[in-house]
Amino acid sequence: MRRHFARFVDGLNVVASWVCYALLVVITAITCLQVFLRFVLNNPTSWSEEVALLCLIWFGMLAIAVGIRRHEHVAISFFRDMLPYPLALTLDFMAQLLTAGFMLVVVVYGQDLVALAGKQLLPASSLSKAWLYVPTLVGGALGTFNAISNILLRELGNAPITAMEPLNAG
């Protein structure tokens, strides 16, 4: 059961990673197109900066969530590494719990932002301004899910491999 859950969580994060890669391609293409149109043809678009910004926000929120699952965020582990293993593991557990709580707050307040901005339109692209805040819901939900998954799967940080092996077995 645990192995199937881990595969599901990792599969979900692979999909989010591929969406991030695609968003980077779109951001780069739009930016290059805008530079070419503005400086070579002297005929810039009005929508490109808004769409690139929208893609950048989506990229950022999804990347944060994937980083939670992979333990790739900056952490000061100097003091934790000096602690005995049970205390270090407790500290990692608390860090994941606090991360889940923070990302849940992002989702809750993100709903308010989506509702508030939903009636407004972005001036150049005419897209709903809510699309600037929907990534807080998606990224926040995935980040919360990833932090809780790390706890449930007992994947709690960068503790020494020998100490983590019994927890990751089976």
Tell me the C-alpha to C-alpha distance, in Å, between residue 148 and each of 64, 72, 92, 129, 131.
15, 16, 12, 30, 26
Into how many domains does the chain fold? 1
Question: What is the model's pLDDT at position 168?
Answer: 41
- Residue-wise pLDDT tens digits, 12-45: 999 999 999 999 999 999 999 999 999 999 999 9
Span 121-134, pLDDT tens digits = 889 888 889 999 99
pLDDT, tens only, 54-76 = 999 999 999 999 999 998 887 77
pLDDT at res. 156: 64
Query: Of 90, 103, 88, whose CA–CA distance to 162 is shortest?
Result: 88
What domain range includes position 92?
A: 2-168
Q: Mind listing the pLDDT tens digit for each residue in 140-152?
A: 999 999 999 999 9
pLDDT for position 158: 54
Residue 164 has pLDDT above 50, yes or no: no
- How far is residue 92's CA from residue 80's CA, in Å, rounded to a whole number? 8
pTM of the model: 0.84
Quick one: pLDDT at residue 115?
92
| Spatial separation of the C-alpha atoms in residues 159 and 53, rounded to whole Å | 37
